[in-house]
Amino acid sequence: MTDPIDHWETPQKILVILAHPDDPEFFCGATLARWARAGHQITYALLTCGDKGFNPVTSPDMTPEKLCGLRHVEQNNAAKIIGAHAVHFLDHKDGYLVADLALRRDIVRVIRAETPDILVTCDPQNLFATYGINHPDHRACGQAVIDAVFPAAGNIAYFPELLTEGLQPHMPKEVWCSLTSQPNASIDVTETWDIKLQAILEHTTQVQDADKLIERMKSRRTEDSTAENPRYEEKFKRIVYG
């Protein structure tokens, strides 16, 4: 039997850079839980705190500032269930992410500070998702991360001001893009699917009906499995350097 595609001989440092709280859990939480239980060190870096993720009609007492604080707490609780080592928030404005040089520099800073072996983000080319139009923050995040990885993160000539912060160039060995419509890597996450669900339910400000959400998530089993004996996969566009 051949080794799975994520069989690394030594523990890996895995950095997850996504746009919002709950993105890691929804996009690839079962894979992250699998990796954490295999002994890999997982760190989250979230570009926003998701402060616009509420409906002012149904939640008239909510404010972006209040929600930002709540989502910090929710994300930290969810990350503990996944098994993540740490969570960092860059707190850019939710809904306003643009893949410009300023955001690219911020991401290069995180990559150089964390020195990951594996970097996880989302596919910037995915305009549509299962729920409809993909959020522009997701696409901007993915684009900025890809642009930061190459050519900037590992090249001393890019953002030399980061050297004054003690941050040396660093290049991840692999990039895994979640929420992709062009996957080339599939991970069997049946054993950690329930962990993913537990972590998602920590995002209480975003879950209106927990029972319906669980039912919907459990229905995402592979076509070759049954409700009585389900199998689950998470898919990625995987890019390997070197």
Q: What is the pLDDT of residues 106-120, one digit of tens each?
A: 999 999 999 999 999
pLDDT number for residue 60:
86
Q: Name residue 147's amino acid.
A: D
pLDDT number for residue 58:
81
What is the number of structural domains in the chain?
Answer: 1
Residues pairing with 240 in the sheet:
174
Residue with tokens 């995180």, as numbered in its chain: 110
Q: CA quadruple 171, 184, 82, 48: dihedral positive or negative?
A: positive
Residues of the chain with pLDDT under 70: 1-2, 242
What CATH number did the domain enclosing 150 receive? 3.40.50.10320
For residue 151, say if its preceding peptide bond is cis, omega within 30 degrees of 0.
yes
pLDDT number for residue 128:
85
Identify whether 8 is part of a domain. no
CA–CA separation, 231 and 59 (whole Å): 37
pLDDT number for residue 56:
84
Q: Burial letters for 68-98: b for 16+ Cβ neighbours within 10 Å, e otherwise?
A: bebbbebbbebbebbbbeebebbebebeebe
Identify whether 32 is part of a domain. yes
pLDDT number for residue 59:
86
Identify whether 141 is part of a domain. yes
What is the domain extent for residue 149?
13-240
Is 118 in contact with 5 (CB distance < 8 Å)? Answer: no
Mean pLDDT of the chain: 95
Identify whether 67 is part of a domain. yes
Residue with tokens 């989502």, as numbered in its chain: 71
Identify whether 1 is part of a domain. no
Identify whether 122 is part of a domain. yes
pLDDT number for residue 2:
62
pLDDT number for residue 16:
99
What predicted TM-score, i.e. pTM, was given to this entire model? 0.96
pLDDT number for residue 1:
52
Identify whether 6 is part of a domain. no
Identify whether 152 is part of a domain. yes
Which pLDDT tens digit goes with each residue over 54-101? 988 788 899 999 999 999 999 999 999 999 999 999 999 999 999 999
CA–CA separation, 79 and 44 (whole Å): 8
